[in-house]
């Protein structure tokens, strides 16, 4: 099999609909038509004479210098303004509208506005006089006019690029200890460089063609304020052919300017995919290189309900259905959003006082790596040492990815680089929001071993939907529903007695629900924490056809449950056994479940069989002792027995 070339790996092209093509062609003709017509009127034989004249040289000098200075000023003013717009929470829409105002104003009105503000009788002229500055009817006035008109081009272009920049990139960088100034300098500006070049090019081109505002505010003084557009306007009254020649020159300058501005975008190339070997992970070395700078800290969260405490030096997995508030809680703990009061450690350092940079690191499913950096550069932004970065990558088995640009990383590779980067900050609190979801199974297993080995040195919160994370990493499990934490229990207790229906399904229990038909007291029971309580036998009326009589009996320790309540029940696949209904005693205490086999997974010594029981799919583990030939079971109906003491019933929240 031949290796596919880079050309074969390009996205398949798609043609635009014909109506769009026709309208687009008409628009292009409308733009290019007048320029082509103008070029047909240019006296090409006289072009040399027109361009070499002293008047043309004067016009060019004023236009080019004013455009260069105006472009530089629009960049110096526009980029900080666009950056500040990103921090606005209120009034951002109004601010962006005001930025566009110079584009909406007629040029003469813009010139009059400048005259009223900084003209010879303007409001600011007394201040300008103190410094000996005169703008109106002087070369600085030309630059001021151009800046006023061209500034929106830079602001709008850069602002648009910033708004499309993934917010997780800066949030992640801030989390690992980078300051806002460093983020702007090393991540934001390099990322938006092509957009900045485009905005500057548009500003320069617009400055070359500026006419009305300049004429109104700065006048048309030869050699001082008369620019090419003003010169063309005056020359056309006496020599129209010369005006056409100068117009062609101005068009050429504008095209050259835009071409130069597009160079950064043209130089960007999609990286050619190359296979990279992931080497074995050296857990001992990586643990040594990422040991936190201080001791692990407990985390206390004051919520509207009961206060929460995440134990120091423990790994707490956070589980719950989508939309239950897991990520929101993690962001509040990490200090990314305002919400519940959070404190760290026994001393109770408030998050409002912002923990030390890198003390609390949060890593989400989105790696948040700087898009213009290589993998090694992204990590070096945290370590500030290329040598330590090399050690980290080598210990993680990722040294072959060191020179790979972030956009060229696969999802799994980026996730692993992001993990190394987060650990490189040596945080005392590590918050992970499904960081292993994009990593292949074998690599994820290696990372779990590493996280487990170093768990005692830091406090780890791990949001997950994978039961493997609970089994392999969790000391405690926090369960969330409807935006609140309903329980934080030891992992063993969570696996044996899941607190919610979602949690029960997550650890592989079968979950059913229905209405409580009857409740009666039963024998005492001992809870997971050693307390003694009264058990209650609950008869649950199920929806669908999970049993011949649609009723199942189980037990609960909930003293408040009563007939008419909606409840859910769970049981493990091991608790269900095939049974011969004819051999069952009529007086024996049992639940009978009848279902059709719809799926079979051969596990070697046993088979995982899925029964369709009305609206429920129930998982049963069968051994060769139960059925000699699993393949013959598909589509058949079998009866299974579930003892009431194996059915745990809880009220629905």
pLDDT at 549 over 60: no
Angle between helices 193-209 and 228-235 (to 10 degrees): 30
Matching residue, tokens 């034989």: 45
Q: Which residue stretches of 314-440 are H helix?
A: 326-334, 375-383, 386-396, 411-424
Q: Render pLDDT for 120-141 as a digit per residue (tens, 0 to 9).
A: 888 998 898 888 888 999 999 9
Q: Please tell me the distance from the alpha carbon of residue 131 to that of residue 530, in angstroms, as a whole number.
A: 84
Mean pLDDT computed over every residue of the chain: 87
DSSP letter for 138, please.
S
Q: Render pLDDT for 143-173 as a digit per residue (tens, 0 to 9).
A: 999 999 999 999 999 999 999 999 999 999 9
Structure tokens at 615: 């609206």
Judged by DSSP in three states, 131 sits in coil
pLDDT at 601 over 80: yes
For the chain, domains (ranges, CATH) are: 31-267 (1.10.3720.10), 283-496 (3.40.50.300), 509-651 (2.40.50.100)
Quote the pLDDT of residue 275.
74
Other beta carbons within 10 angstroms of residue 528's beta carbon come to 12
Reported confidence tier of residue 606, pLDDT bands at 50, 70, 90: confident
Other beta carbons within 10 angstroms of residue 341's beta carbon come to 15
For residues 503 and 50, the model is more confident at 503
Structure tokens at 556: 């609960």
Q: Render pLDDT for 469-519 as a digit per residue (tens, 0 to 9).
A: 999 999 999 999 988 899 999 999 999 889 999 999 999 999 988 888 888
Q: Please tell me the distance from the alpha carbon of residue 311 to that of residue 301, in angstroms, as a whole number.
A: 12
Burial class (CB in 10 A: 0-12, 13-18, 19+), 591: buried
Q: Please tell me the distance from the alpha carbon of residue 469 to that of residue 123, in angstroms, as a whole number.
A: 68
Contacting residues for 130 by C-beta, under 8 A, at least 6 apart: none
Q: Please tell me the distance from the alpha carbon of residue 497 to that of residue 488, in angstroms, as a whole number.
A: 12
Is 392 within 8 Å of 418 (Cβ atoms)? no
The edge-to-edge listing of strands for the beta sheet with 341-344 is: 308-310, 299-302, 341-344, 349-350
C-alpha torsion sign, points 151, 152, 158, 163 = positive
Q: Please tell me the distance from the alpha carbon of residue 250 to that of residue 413, in angstroms, as a whole number.
A: 50
Distance of CA 90 to the CA centre of its chain: 22
Q: Render pLDDT for 365-421 as a digit per residue (tens, 0 to 9).
A: 999 999 999 999 999 999 999 999 999 999 999 999 999 999 999 999 999 999 999
Is 158 within 8 Å of 192 (Cβ atoms)? yes
Quote the pLDDT of residue 432.
95
Burial class (CB in 10 A: 0-12, 13-18, 19+), 98: exposed
**End-to-end distance of the chain based on CA atoms, in angstroms?**
57
pLDDT at 354 over 70: no
Averaged pLDDT for residues 183-203? 93
Quote the pLDDT of residue 182.
93
Q: Please tell me the distance from the alpha carbon of residue 468 to that of residue 630, in angstroms, as a whole number.
A: 27
Quote the pLDDT of residue 351.
47
């Amino acid at each position: 099999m031949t290796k596919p070339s880079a050309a074969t790996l390009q996205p398949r092209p798609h043609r635009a609909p014909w109506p769009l093509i026709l309208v687009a062609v008409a628009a292009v003709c409308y733009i290019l038509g007048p320029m082509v017509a103008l070029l047909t009127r240019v006296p090409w034989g006289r072009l040399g004479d027109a361009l070499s004249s002293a008047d043309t040289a004067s016009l060019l000098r004023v236009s080019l210098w004013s455009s260069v200075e105006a472009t530089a000023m629009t960049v110096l003013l526009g980029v900080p303004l666009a950056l500040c717009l990103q921090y606005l929470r209120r009034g951002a829409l109004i601010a962006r509208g005001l930025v566009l105002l110079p584009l909406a104003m007629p040029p003469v009105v813009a010139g009059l506005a400048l005259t009223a503000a900084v003209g010879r009788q303007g409001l600011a002229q007394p201040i300008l006089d103190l410094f000996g500055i005169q703008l109106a009817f002087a070369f600085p006035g030309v630059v001021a006019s151009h800046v006023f008109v061209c500034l929106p081009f830079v602001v709008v272009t850069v602002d648009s690029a910033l708004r499309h920049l993934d917010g997780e990139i800066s949030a992640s960088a801030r989390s690992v200890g980078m300051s806002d100034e460093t983020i702007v300098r090393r991540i934001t500006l390099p990322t938006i460089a092509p957009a900045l070049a485009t905005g500057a090019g548009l500003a320069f081109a617009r400055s070359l063609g500026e006419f009305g505002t300049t004429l109104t505010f700065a006048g048309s003084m030869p050699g001082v304020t008369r620019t090419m557009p003003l010169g063309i306007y005056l020359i056309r009254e006496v020599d129209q052919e010369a005006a056409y020649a100068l117009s062609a020159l101005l068009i050429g300058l504008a095209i050259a300017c835009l071409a130069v501005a597009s160079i950064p975008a043209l130089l960007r190339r999609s990286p050619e995919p190359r296979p990279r070997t992931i080497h074995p992970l050296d857990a001992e070395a990586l643990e040594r290189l990422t040991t936190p700078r201080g001791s692990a800290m407990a985390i206390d969260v004051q919520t509207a309900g009961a206060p929460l405490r995440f134990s120091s030096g423990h790994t707490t997995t956070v589980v719950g259905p989508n939309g239950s508030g897991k990520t929101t809680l993690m962001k509040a703990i990490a200090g990314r959003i305002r919400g519940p009061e959070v404190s760290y450690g026994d001393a109770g350092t408030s998050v409002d006082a912002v923990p030390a940079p890198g003390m609390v690191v949060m890593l989400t499913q989105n790696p948040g790596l700087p898009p213009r950096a290589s993998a090694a550069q992204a990590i070096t932004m945290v370590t500030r040492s290329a040598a330590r970065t090399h050690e980290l990558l080598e210990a993680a088995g990722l040294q072959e990815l060191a020179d790979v640009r972030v956009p060229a990383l696969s999802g799994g590779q980026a996730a692993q680089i992001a993990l190394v980067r987060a650990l490189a900050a040596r945080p005392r609190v590590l918050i992970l929001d499904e960081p292993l979801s994009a990593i292949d199974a074998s690599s994820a297993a290696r990372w779990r071993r590493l996280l487990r080995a170093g768990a005692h040195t830091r406090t780890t919160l791990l949001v997950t939907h994978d039961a493997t994370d609970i089994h392999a990493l969790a000391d405690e499990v926090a369960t969330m529903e409807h935006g609140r934490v309903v329980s934080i229990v030891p992992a063993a207790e969570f696996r044996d007695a899941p607190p919610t229906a979602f949690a029960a399904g997550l650890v592989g229990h079968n979950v059913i629900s229905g209405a409580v038909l009857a409740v009666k007291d039963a024998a005492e029971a001992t809870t997971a924490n050693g307390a003694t309580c009264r058990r209650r036998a609950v008869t649950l009326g199920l929806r669908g056809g999970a049993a011949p009589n649609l009723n199942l009996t189980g037990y609960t320790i909930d003293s408040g449950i009563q007939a008419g309540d909606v409840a859910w029940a769970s049981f493990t696949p091991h608790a269900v056994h095939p049974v011969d209904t004819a051999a069952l005693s009529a007086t024996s205490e049992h639940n009978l479940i009848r279902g059709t086999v719809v799926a079979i997974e051969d596990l070697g010594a046993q088979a995982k069989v899925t029964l369709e029981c009305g609206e429920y799919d129930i998982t049963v583990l069968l051994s060769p002792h139960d059925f000699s030939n699993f393949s013959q079971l598909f589509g058949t109906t079998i009866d299974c027995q579930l003892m009431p003491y194996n059915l745990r019933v809880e009220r629905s929240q």
